[in-house]
Amino acid sequence: MECAAVFDVDGTLVDTNHLHVTSWWEAFRQAGHDVVMHDVHRAVGLAGHDLVARLLGDGRDTGQDAAISAAHKTLYGTYADRLPALPQAGRLLRTLAGQGWSVVLATSAGGAELDALRRAIDADDAITATASADDVDAGKPAPDPVERALELAGVPADRAVFVGDTVWDMEAATRAGVLAVGLRCGGIPQADLEEAGAAAVYQDPADLLARLGESPVGRLKERFGDARPGRRAVT
């Protein structure tokens, strides 16, 4: 049985968090809500309906929720053809696949948004499967996306590592019983990631790649030591 490296995408492999912040801020503004960008940033990584609920509260007019989410989707979609991958993101995935890891994406994105993110990463040959928002009932910090990724990889929680950039990622991994590794490139402080369950924190994919052997990812591979050559990518 091989091991699985599960990755969040937005803010972890692709530099999109602040694009989401701007798009959500404008969507809220169009609906008549003044929301502080810092608060939006701290909510990025939640599923859309959860993000709206967190920022507007239970007393909001829930009839606006769908329109706000739709506006965000439209605004963010204007960036689809120029999303920037974070440093060495594709190389990190290919390196892991070459070492015999099953590489799975676990993201709240779906549909055309997910397609654009995968084009930015440009490493479909290294990706075994993707657990998207379309595949689960509850998004992060619920464990559902991580658990779905494990199902797709066919591995138990103790043979997997999850790499993400938000506290929601770290909490989802911890609830799923998976070793969590944090990246700071999404803009969340190291202390917050560690408090949410990160076993180790790195700057970005390039930093993790440079220190892969000494990282929790490398130690997990050494622990089992029986990973087989990577499987054909599923697109």
Model confidence pLDDT, tens digit, residues 83-136: 999 999 999 999 999 999 999 999 988 889 999 999 999 999 999 999 987 787
Same domain, 98 and 42: no
Distance, CA of 77 to CA of 115 (rounded, Å): 11
Asked, for residue 110, whether it belongs to a domain, the answer is: yes
Domain end (from 34, 54, 78): 78
Same domain, 120 and 214: yes
Same domain, 123 and 27: no
Same domain, 42 and 147: no
* Residue 227 pLDDT greater than 70, yes or no: no
Residue 1 confidence (pLDDT): 67
Domain end (from 36, 54, 78): 78
Tell which wins on pLDDT, 159 or 47.
159
Asked, for residue 233, whether it belongs to a domain, the answer is: no
* Residue 149 pLDDT greater than 50, yes or no: yes
Distance, CA of 160 to CA of 55 (rounded, Å): 32
Q: What is the pTM of this model?
A: 0.93
Structural domain containing residue 193: 4-15+84-224
The CATH number for 171's domain is 3.40.50.1000
Same domain, 74 and 89: no
Q: Quick one: tokens of 26?
A: 């404008």
Residue 10 confidence (pLDDT): 97
Q: What average pLDDT is seen over the chain? A: 93
Same domain, 105 and 138: yes
Q: Beta strands of the chain (E only): which ranges?
A: 4-7, 102-106, 129-131, 160-164, 179-183, 200-202
Same domain, 34 and 8: no
Tell which wins on pLDDT, 48 or 36.
36
Any idea how long the chain is? 235
Residue 126 confidence (pLDDT): 98
Residue 46 confidence (pLDDT): 93
Based on the structure, what is the number of domains in the chain?
Answer: 2
Asked, for residue 165, whether it belongs to a domain, the answer is: yes
Residue 108 confidence (pLDDT): 84
* Residue 231 pLDDT greater than 60, yes or no: no
Same domain, 110 and 191: yes
Same domain, 74 and 96: no
Asked, for residue 24, whether it belongs to a domain, the answer is: yes
The CATH number for 43's domain is 1.10.150
Q: Quick one: tokens of 164?
A: 């993400």
Residue 226 confidence (pLDDT): 53
* Residue 232 pLDDT greater than 70, yes or no: no
Residue 230 confidence (pLDDT): 40
